[in-house]
Amino acid sequence: MKLWKKMLIGLTFGTLIGILLGPKAAYLKPFGTVFLGLLNMLVVLLVFSSMTVGVTSINDIRKLGRVGFKTLLLYMVTTMIAIVFALIAAKLVNPGLGIGLNHGAVDLTIGETPELISMFMNLVPSNPIGSLANGNILQVIVFSIFLGLGINFAGEKGKPVARVLESLSEVMFSMTGMVMNLAPYGIFAIMAWVAGTFGVGILFPLLKLVLAHYVVCTIHLILVYGGILLFVAKVRITPFFKGMTDAITLAASTTSSSASLPATLHCVEENLGVSKNIASFILPLGSTINMNGTAIFQGIAAVFISQAYGIDLGWQSLLVIVVTATLSAVGCAGIPGGGIVTLSIVLGSVGLPLEGIAIVAGIDRLRDIIGTVVNVLGDGVVAVFVAKSEGEFDEEQYNSGVYISYDHKPAVPQESQS
């Protein structure tokens, strides 16, 4: 049985067992925590090695500049479109009307709101080893880019370092395969805890907010991602979603873009035909700064909180939200709950009460299921487009219908039309 099927079974049975056990399902949480810990154990060195190898494999500096420019441009544009969709939907649905909260009605203890300027100033690591040790992925990416460029400029003397990092990258992928064998059991434990802790009833108080988020995410997947694949990259849509099945399942269950990175790299390279050097450069970057699903949540949540407190947001405030949420999404950690942290930046930019975060925090895990899927699929879409535009895309593999799971057994080809 393919791994994605096992993960889907784990997700389904975990949800059912969680509903049956209720709060007692919390006893299963440690097993899920161990699995997430194993995934997070891989992330830093995987990002460091694959990102550096991705840079070193693109020897032409002009090509590296083109790839970087296309990648960042698509990440920023799709994020901005996602927020606009979110604001339009929130204004149409009006999820927060009638709640009638007052300042101080909700208790919330929150740390100092991070500033965008300080976030960008902290991108450059003063101590790369410390960044690796502390798991600061953005700083690790910046250091990896400079290290890769340094290896290229060093010429022959830099090749031994490049070979060591290539070996490290292969070892990390091998470790990923080992950890992924435990995925069905980890996912079972995680979903059992989530379902048992929150239950189905958590949806009802904030049903409109949750539904609006899921609808906007679905629209974004179809119109934006589907449009890029069909009209810009000029490839069929169906093979993309089938090839990304492992990544989709892992993203939905872990709600972590960073934890899903190994699966995303595997799916994009092995199933979608994107060259390793393009995937190694784009995907670690995307798992950190490409947060379309998170941006959608921030847009809807900002309008929800403003309506809950009876605060009217004019078009100037909405424009500020678009800009701020786009930039803050770049600094959002690719971990469960990362969007809640950066939501404080968005609320603070238009003077909304920060205690409003406590209202939406309860459903953060539920909305993060599809939000993380949107984040991960966005990375894959950009990788396919950039790879094809650079002539490093195997369209025959993309359309073949032969998909390799983590157990490296090709899936049975299926005829499909997009």
Confidence at 78, pLDDT banded by 50, 70, 90: very high
CATH code that applies to domain 3-36+71-121+172-399: 1.10.3860.10
Mean pLDDT of the chain, nearest integer: 80
For residue 222, the model assigns a pLDDT of 95
Task: Assess whether pLDDT exceeds 50 at residue 413.
Answer: no
Task: Assess whether pLDDT exceeds 90 at residue 250.
Answer: no
Q: Is the pTM of this model over 0.85?
A: no
Residue extents of the structural domains in the chain: 3-36+71-121+172-399
**Could you read off the pLDDT of 92-116 as tens digits, one per residue?**
988 877 666 565 444 444 444 445 5
Name the DSSP letter for residue 275. -
Which of 205-219, 276-290, 298-312, 394-408 has the lowest average pLDDT? 394-408
Question: Is there a contact between 170 and 53 (Cβ–Cβ < 8 Å)?
Answer: no
CA distance linking residue 51 with residue 279, whole number of Å:
9
CA distance linking residue 225 with residue 374, whole number of Å:
9
The rounded Cα 110 to chain-centroid distance in angstroms is 24
Which of 30-39, 50-59, 87-96 has the lowest average pLDDT? 50-59
Task: Assess whether pLDDT exceeds 70 at residue 361.
Answer: no
Which residue is associated with the tokens 């490290």? Answer: 168
Task: Assess whether pLDDT exceeds 50 at residue 411.
Answer: no
> Which residues 6+ apart lie within 8 Å of 307 measured at CB?
94, 95, 96, 97, 99
For residue 110, the model assigns a pLDDT of 41
Per the structure block, which two tokens stand in for 218? 């679905």
Which of 72-86, 120-134, 226-240 has the lowest average pLDDT? 120-134
Higher pLDDT, 220 or 175: 220
Task: Assess whether pLDDT exceeds 80 at residue 171.
Answer: yes
